[in-house]
Amino acid sequence: MIQRRGDAEISGIAGVILAGGQNKRFPSLKSFIKINNYTIIEKNLILLKEIFDEVIISTNIPEKYFYLGAPLIGDILPSLGPMSGIYSSLLNSKHGSIFIVACDMPFIKKELIYFVCKKHLESFYSGHSETIDATVPIYDGEPQPLFGVYCNKAMPYLEAAILSGKTSLKRFLNEIKTRFINESEIRVVDPDGMSFVNINTIEDYKNVMRYA
Q: What is the pLDDT of residues 138-160, one digit of tens each?
A: 999 999 999 999 999 999 999 99
Residues 103 and 21 sit within 8 Å (Cβ to Cβ): yes
Separation of alpha carbons 38 and 187, rounded Å: 27
pTM exceeding 0.85: yes
Classify residue 2: in a domain, yes or no. no
Q: State the average pLDDT over residues 50-73.
A: 95
- Whether residue 4 lies inside any domain: the answer is no
- Residue 1 falls inside a structural domain: no
Answer yes or no: is 205 within a domain: yes
Which residues pair with residue 181 across a beta bridge? 137
Within a domain: 198 = yes
Angle at the Cα of 152 from the Cα atoms of 45 and 52, rounded to 5 degrees = 25
Contacts of residue 61, Cβ cutoff 8 Å, sequence gap at least 6: none
Q: What one-letter code names the amino acid at 66? A: F
Contacts of 147 (CB under 8 A, 6+ apart): 100, 101, 102, 105, 108, 112, 116, 136, 137, 195, 196
Query: Residue 201's pLDDT is what?
Result: 80
CATH number, position 173? 3.90.550.10
> Which residue from 135, 134, 138, 132 is spatially nearest to 185, judged by alpha carbons?
138
Number of domains in the chain: 1
Q: Is the pLDDT of residue 7 over 50?
A: no
Strand, helix or coil at 46?
A: helix
Average pLDDT, the chain: 89
Whether residue 129 is contained in a domain is answered as yes
Per-residue pLDDT tens digits for 162-202: 999 998 999 999 999 999 999 999 999 999 999 999 887 88
Residue 78 maps to a domain: yes
Query: Is 6 part of a structural domain of the chain?
Result: no
**H or E segment to which residue 99 belongs:** strand 97-102
Distance between CA atoms of residues 87 and 155, nearest Å? 6
pLDDT of residue 28 exceeding 80, the answer is no
Report which of residues 191 and 123 the model is more confident about: 191
Return the DSSP state at 118.
H
Confidence of residue 123 (pLDDT cuts 50, 70, 90): confident
**114: enclosing H helix or E strand:** helix 110-124
Residue 44 Cα distances to 55, 67, 165, 168, angstroms = 10, 15, 30, 24
Q: Which domain holds residue 125?
A: 13-209
